[in-house]
Amino acid sequence: MKVGFVYDPIYLKHDTGHHPENAQRLEAIISHLEQTGLSQQLTPIQPRPATLEELSLVHHEPYISHIREVAQKGGGWLDVDTVMSADSYDAALYAAGGVIKATEAVSNGEVNSAFALVRPPGHHATPQRAMGFCLFNNLAIAAKYALSKYERILIVDFDVHHGNGSQEVFYHEPQVMYISTHQYPHYPGTGSIEETGSGTARGTTVNIPLPGGSGDADYQQVFAQIVVPAAQRFEPQFILVSAGYDAHWTDELAMMQASTTGFAQMVKIIKGLADELCNGRLVFSLEGGYNLTALATSVKATFDILLGKPNIEDPLGQAPYPWDTPGITPLIKTIKEIHNL
């Protein structure tokens, strides 16, 4: 089993200062992969900058020019959450290009699956707006790119925040199914069960908005009862994953109770779908995750599952004080009804 990983030090040069989305996140991941010897078991994939043509598959040209100009002026704030530095434009080009390269490597059969360890993240970026720490929508660009070769692409987004940008890009696109689990209500406010896609794409947006406090058992339930049957019906030829680890119980940007073991279970299910439906073609792209230990161990666990290892390490363990949530059985029933699952 050959598993690729994309990384380049240019991703550290997107300097956000005192900000939860900072270069230490990737440094923590890389050093953990090295210390545990895992990086030697992976196939490195060298990223390249995305071309303007590739960025334009998702983003409007005046917006791309705006990001380049802000970088040329030394950086600045794009909205209340999203900041960039002089090198952020270049880092963002390599982030988008890195996910494209991962997609190419899987598509060409150089590797069985791959994980692009990139920043800035992407899933909140809309065609004409930066938001939520995101400049360009890396995964959406790679999905558009992959549409030149594949007819049906599935995006699974388990970041704790709803990927409003990805949903917007593909809301009218029947060839791309977007499935998201997210805390709700929460930032950015989108992602209700009623948002299901439009026109011929109706039914290809599947939102699974979960209450704060949801944990591993809840995620297992929604993956088994919604994600799996929705994916099986759609029959994707390629699966892309917006992999954010901010649903971890230690994460301070949300209120979920998932553990590293829980993330590994989700990855196992997604890998099973890729093996069953699309010859294993599977690419992960890093989104959020702000507790450095949880992030590094969960990314490693993701690689361990992709490598086919039976066990993962979960040093942080389960949430010590699990919430007494009302349960999500009625929510699952409603979503299944909306989507005829």
Per CB under 5 A, contacts with Zn ion among 304-333 are none
Tell me which of 54, 159, 173, 218 binds Zn ion, using CB under 5 A.
159
If binding is defined by CB under 5 A, does position 163 make contact with Zn ion? no
Binding mask 73-102 for Zn ion (x = CB under 5 A): ------------------------------
Closest to Zn ion by CB, 225 vs 291, is: 291
Beta bridge partners of 300: none
Active site residue 19: no
List 32, 124, 248, 339, catalytic entry: 124
Report if residue 197 touches Zn ion, rule: CB under 5 A: no
Neighbours of 181 (CB within 10 A): 28
Among 112, 130, 288, 295, binds Zn ion (CB under 5 A): 288
Least separation in angstroms between residue 248's CB and Zn ion is 11
Which of 19, 18, 2 minimizes the C-alpha distance to 133?
19
CB of 290 to Zn ion, least distance (A): 8
* Distance of alpha carbon 159 from alpha carbon 305, whole angstroms: 18
Q: Which stretch binds Zn ion (CB under 5 A): 18-26, 176-184, 238-246, 309-317?
A: 238-246
| Nearest CB to Zn ion, comparing residues 236 and 288 | 288
Give min distance, CB of 175 to Zn ion, in A. Answer: 26
Nearer to Zn ion, 57 or 253 (CB): 253
Q: Is 157 in the site for Zn ion (CB under 5 A)?
A: no
Q: What distances in angstroms separate CA 207 from CA 29, 194, 273, 335, one per listed residue?
A: 29, 8, 18, 8
Closest listed residue to residue 278, CA positions, set 242, 235, 241, 308: 235
Q: In this structure, which amino acid lies at residue 324?
A: D
Strand-by-strand arrangement of the 113-116 sheet: 43-45, 3-6, 113-116, 282-286, 238-243, 153-157, 176-183, 205-210
Residue 161 makes contact with Zn ion by CB under 5 A = yes
Total residues binding Zn ion (CB under 5 A):
5
Which residue's CB atom is positioned nearest to Zn ion? Answer: 288
Q: How far is CA 248 from the centre of its chain?
A: 14
Of all helices (H) and strands (E), which one includes residue 77?
Answer: strand 75-77
Interacting stretch for Zn ion, rule CB under 5 A, among 23-31, 45-53, 244-252, 310-318? 244-252
Interface residue with Zn ion among 8, 54, 246, 304 (CB under 5 A) is: 246
Residue 251 CA to residue 254 CA, distance in Å, equals 6
Bridge-based pairing state of the strands 83-85 and 113-116: unpaired
Report the distance separating Cα 57 and Cα 154, nearest Å: 17
Question: Measured from the CB of residue 132, what is the shortest distance to Zn ion in angstroms?
Answer: 7
The answer to whether residue 244 forms part of the interface with Zn ion (CB under 5 A) is yes
Nearest-approach distance from CB 237 to Zn ion, in angstroms: 27
Q: Residue 304 in 3-state DSSP? A: helix
Rg of the chain taking only CA atoms, in angstroms: 18
Distance of alpha carbon 163 from alpha carbon 127, whole angstroms: 13
Containing H/E element for 207? strand 205-210
CB nearer to Zn ion: pick between 169 and 247 = 247
Pairing of strands 153-157, 3-6: unpaired
Least distance between Zn ion and beta carbon 99 (Å): 17
Nearest distance from residue 137's CB to Zn ion, in Å? 14
- Which CB atom, from 3 or from 135, has the smaller least distance to Zn ion? 135
Catalytic residues: 124
Residues that bind Zn ion (CB under 5 A): 159, 161, 244, 246, 288
